[in-house]
């Protein structure tokens, strides 16, 4: 294929505009798939263009188009009609449209119908060729849709890149050839062919995504089997003041079975906020110590690590298990004593932050590694901690509810335990959608809760400067300033991901200690400490978050016995009403996937979740299962070793985290 600079009409300015969008090569452009399509195969009658409709319509121009000028603006107006009715069209700042249209001309147009003071109009409709499915690309300032389409069409004619999927694999799974799939994805010959092309490309992404995970994590190592007994699990739970749920006991027994194997455990314990995953982790650590090993639990923040340490001492110390804490902000002498206790085995259970990963930390007999909020740690960080022992067993925890079919792909290197049951006595969080006109009433409610000694979170999607590009959303900085004044004399604090670590931890500490009444934050608090006195969660710009992320934020309140509330600042819509109707995180996550797809599943641009394949048809559980089974087949059947090697090589060759792009 030729270089982008060799394309006719692509000079330095257009090439620079493409580069700003991450499009540097011909392959980048070809793999930047359309965000949507304009269907001109069945145009509507002009009479069917009602308010809010965006579609293709066809008819005859009636009368001579007119050019208007007023208040420094100019526009062309014309009427398009057929035997059923008519609609008026307006083209702003496109004076040339007056010469492109003439009386009785038959036109096929595509646009959105809106209501203005003088009636219904289609604003700036584009002229289309009838009988086609036209690709629509994400806007590239300085490069129009037509030049993009023409460039992609030419490059596809010259396409000669190898298929990353081995030919026998493609044939065995009845997949469309990659070049044909790309051609159909950009310029569909029909909707059935488009569906097959999307399926092929999505299947490719899913398989390569799993290959990338497998390549990063490597083969599951051999481990020292631990003599763990199932009755040890029951003995542990009998020491607690409350009985385990069936889901907790099931997960603990699965962990015990893994520990008995000579193949190192790699298991994710996934469950909703408040389902009792930490108790399962403590059970696993107790089993490890009872079997003669040493265990470590790594948390993403110092506050969360300290909270886990207090809970561990309360739970494990009565069993005769010594616990210790290691964090980055310890004084040098304190840190030296901690390293010595870890190295000698005086601490049987070690809880800490990323400080556990440093080279100067060595373990006496590390047999179990637990990471909390696993999506905050990469595969390499997990393996770095695991490398401090001789093939220790690894358990990770996540409170992000993800439907099982998607988890099997996203965390393909891990076995899965779903904790899909909440302990009795958890108080459901009342969830309400609050439009802007009721804001003052909400502030009154926050004051009333503060008077009772309760605290409030206020979460914003943006920090400050980045909100300038989006005037419709209030930034965390602006909200903090407004609340400091509106809620005086309540104590208001601000925390976000761009603060230095010390200031962020100090602010969170003050909120945890009850020295702040209101904490304004970005999604940095989605993973945080248990603050039982926090009873109100306010989410600004709620429509900008995914449902699963909103549910995760909602889980920050309702941690104690008090009645708790979550207020979604947005205009009511069907998507947000899902949260008011259910507290089941897995049901919320499934709905989120169906509505938005996995490419958008993990939330706003501040939220550093794993990147997902952008084209993945995540709501199609059958495709997820097919891709998962296909990769497992390669992994388990030695006759497919050559295909597996080719897939691992193809996955490694791709840039980290970059798959077929849609925007």
Helix, strand, coil in percent for the chain, rounding step 5 = 45, 20, 35
Supply angle C-alpha 93, 98, 104, rounded to 5: 140
| Whether pTM exceeds 0.85 | no
C-alpha closest to that of 350 among 387, 391, 305: 305
231 phi/psi in degrees, rounded to 5: -70, -15
Judged against a pLDDT cut of 90, whether residue 613 lies above it is answered with: no
Judged against a pLDDT cut of 80, whether residue 657 lies above it is answered with: no
pLDDT score recorded for residue 399: 72
Q: Which residue has the tokens 């708790």?
A: 564
C-alpha closest to that of 253 among 287, 276, 289, 222: 287
* Neighbour count for residue 354 (Cβ, 10 Å): 19
H or E element, residue 79: strand 73-81
Judged against a pLDDT cut of 80, whether residue 622 lies above it is answered with: no
Whether the CB-CB separation of 568 and 425 falls below 8 Å is answered with: no
Which residues touch 304 (CB under 8 Å, ≥6 apart)?
Answer: 372, 373, 527, 528, 529
pLDDT score recorded for residue 659: 44
Helix (H, G, I), strand (E, B) or coil at 70: strand
pLDDT score recorded for residue 660: 45
More confident residue, 459 or 71: 459
Judged against a pLDDT cut of 90, whether residue 125 lies above it is answered with: yes
255 phi/psi in degrees, rounded to 5: -65, -45
pLDDT-above-70 percentage for the chain = 87
Record the tokens describing residue 43, joined without a space: 């145009």
pLDDT score recorded for residue 583: 81
Judged against a pLDDT cut of 80, whether residue 273 lies above it is answered with: no
Report the relative pairing of strands 366-371 and 393-398 from DSSP bridges: parallel
More confident residue, 495 or 567: 567
pLDDT score recorded for residue 410: 65
Banded pLDDT at 379 (limits 50, 70, 90): low
Choice among 190-199, 486-495, 588-597 with the minimum mean pLDDT? 588-597
Helix (H, G, I), strand (E, B) or coil at 263: strand
Omega cis (within 30) before 489: yes
Judged against a pLDDT cut of 60, whether residue 310 lies above it is answered with: yes
Record the tokens describing residue 446, joined without a space: 């926050």
Q: What are the tens digits of pLDDT across the range 389-447?
A: 888 998 988 776 666 666 666 666 678 888 888 777 677 889 999 998 899 999 999 99
Which residues touch 477 (CB under 8 Å, ≥6 apart)?
Answer: 463, 464, 494
pLDDT score recorded for residue 321: 97
pLDDT score recorded for residue 217: 60
Choice among 143-157, 229-243, 306-320, 489-503 with the minimum mean pLDDT? 489-503
Record the tokens describing residue 368, joined without a space: 């179990």
Q: What are the tens digits of pLDDT across the range 134-189?
A: 999 888 989 999 999 999 999 999 998 889 999 999 999 999 999 999 999 999 99
pLDDT score recorded for residue 300: 82
pLDDT score recorded for residue 406: 65
Measured between alpha carbons, how far is 515 from 455 in angstroms, rounded to an integer? 10
Measured between alpha carbons, how far is 277 from 399 in angstroms, rounded to an integer? 8
12-40 b/e with 16+ CB inside 10 Å = b? Answer: eebbeebeebebeebebbbbbbbeebbbb
Measured between alpha carbons, how far is 12 from 4 in angstroms, rounded to an integer? 10
Which residues touch 508 (CB under 8 Å, ≥6 apart)?
Answer: 301, 303, 495, 519, 525, 528, 529
Choice among 503-512, 582-591, 630-639, 640-649 with the minimum mean pLDDT? 582-591
Report the relative pairing of strands 266-271 and 106-116 from DSSP bridges: unpaired
Domains of the chain are 4-35+136-207 (no CATH), 42-127 (2.40.50.140), 230-261+276-398 (3.40.50.300), 429-582 (3.40.50.300)
Q: What are the tens digits of pLDDT across the range 43-84?
A: 999 999 999 899 999 999 999 999 999 888 899 999 999 999
Average pLDDT, the chain: 85
Q: Which of 80-94, 501-515, 614-628 has the highest mean pLDDT?
A: 80-94
Whether the CB-CB separation of 433 and 576 falls below 8 Å is answered with: yes
pLDDT score recorded for residue 662: 37
pLDDT score recorded for residue 120: 92
């Amino acid at each position: 294929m030729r270089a982008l600079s060799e394309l006719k009409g692509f000079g330095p300015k257009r090439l620079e505009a493409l580069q700003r969008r991450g499009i540097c090569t011909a392959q980048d452009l070809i793999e930047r798939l359309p965000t949507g399509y304009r269907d001109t195969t069945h145009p509507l009658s002009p009479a069917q263009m009602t308010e809010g409709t965006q579609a293709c319509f066809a008819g005859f121009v009636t009368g001579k188009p007119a050019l208007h000028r007023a208040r420094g603006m100019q526009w062309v107006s014309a009427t398009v009609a057929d035997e059923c009715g008519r609609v008026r069209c307006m083209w702003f700042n496109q004076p040339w449209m007056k010469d492109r249209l003439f009386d009785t001309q038959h036109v096929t147009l595509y646009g959105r119908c809106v209501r203005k003071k003088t009636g219904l109009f289609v604003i700036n409709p584009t002229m289309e060729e009838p009988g086609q499915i036209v690709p629509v690309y994400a806007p590239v300032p300085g490069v129009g849709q037509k030049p993009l389409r023409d460039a992609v069409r030419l490059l596809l004619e010259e396409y000669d890149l190898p298929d990353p999927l081995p030919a026998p694999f493609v044939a065995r799974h009845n997949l469309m050839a990659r070049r044909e799939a790309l051609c159909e994805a950009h310029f569909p010959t029909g909707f059935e062919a488009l569906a097959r092309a999307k399926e092929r490309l999505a299947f490719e992404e899913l398989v390569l995504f799993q290959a990338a995970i497998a390549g990063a994590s490597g083969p599951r190592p051999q481990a020292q089997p631990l003599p763990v007994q199932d009755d040890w699990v029951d003995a542990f739970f009998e020491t607690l003041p409350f009985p385990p749920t069936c889901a907790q006991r099931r997960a603990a027994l699965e962990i015990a079975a893994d520990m008995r194997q000579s193949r190192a455990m790699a298991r994710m314990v996934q469950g909703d906020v408040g389902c009792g995953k930490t108790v399962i982790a403590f059970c696993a650590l107790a089993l490890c110590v009872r079997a003669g090993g040493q265990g470590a639990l790594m948390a993403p923040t110092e506050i969360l690590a300290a909270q886990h340490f207090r809970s561990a001492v309360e739970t494990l110390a009565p069993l005769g298990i010594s616990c210790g804490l290691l964090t980055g902000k310890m004084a040098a002498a304190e840190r030296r004593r901690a390293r010595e206790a870890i190295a000698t085995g005086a601490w049987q259970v070690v809880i800490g932050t990323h400080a556990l990963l440093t080279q100067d930390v060595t373990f006496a007999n590390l047999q179990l590694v637990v990471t909390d909020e696993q999506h905050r740690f990469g595969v390499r960080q997990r393996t770095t901690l695991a490398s401090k022992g001789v093939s220790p067993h690894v358990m990770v925890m996540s409170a992000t509810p993800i439907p099982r079919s998607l988890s099997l792909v996203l965390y393909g290197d891990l076995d899965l335990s779903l904790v899909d049951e909440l302990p009795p006595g958890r108080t459901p969080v009342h969830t309400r959608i609050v439009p802007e006109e009721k804001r003052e009433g909400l502030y009154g409610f926050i004051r009333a809760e503060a008077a009772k000694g309760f605290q409030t979170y206020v979460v914003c999607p943006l920090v400050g400067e980045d909100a300038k590009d989006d005037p419709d959303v209030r930034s965390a900085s602006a909200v903090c300033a407004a609340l400091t004044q509106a809620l005086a004399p309540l104590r208001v604090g601000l925390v976000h991901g761009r603060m230095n670590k010390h200031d962020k931890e100090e602010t969170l500490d003050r909120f945890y200690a009850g020295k702040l009444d209101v904490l304004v934050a970005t999604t940095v608090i989605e993973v945080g400490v248990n603050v039982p006195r926090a009873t109100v969660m306010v989410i600004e710009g709620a429509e900008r978050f995914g449902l699963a992320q909103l549910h995760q934020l909602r889980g920050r309140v309702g941690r104690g016995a008090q009645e708790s509330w979550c207020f979604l600042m947005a205009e009511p819509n069907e998507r947000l009403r899902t949260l008011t109707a259910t507290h089941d995180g897995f049901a919320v996550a499934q709905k989120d996937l169906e509505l938005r797809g996995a490419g958008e599943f993990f939330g706003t641009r501040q939220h550093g979740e794993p990147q997902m394949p952008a084209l993945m048809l995540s709501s199609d559980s059958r495709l997820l299962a097919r891709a998962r089974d296909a990769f497992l087949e390669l992994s388990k059947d030695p006759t497919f070793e050559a295909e597996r090697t080719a897939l691992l090589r193809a996955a490694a060759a791709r840039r980290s985290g970059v798959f077929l792009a849609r925007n």
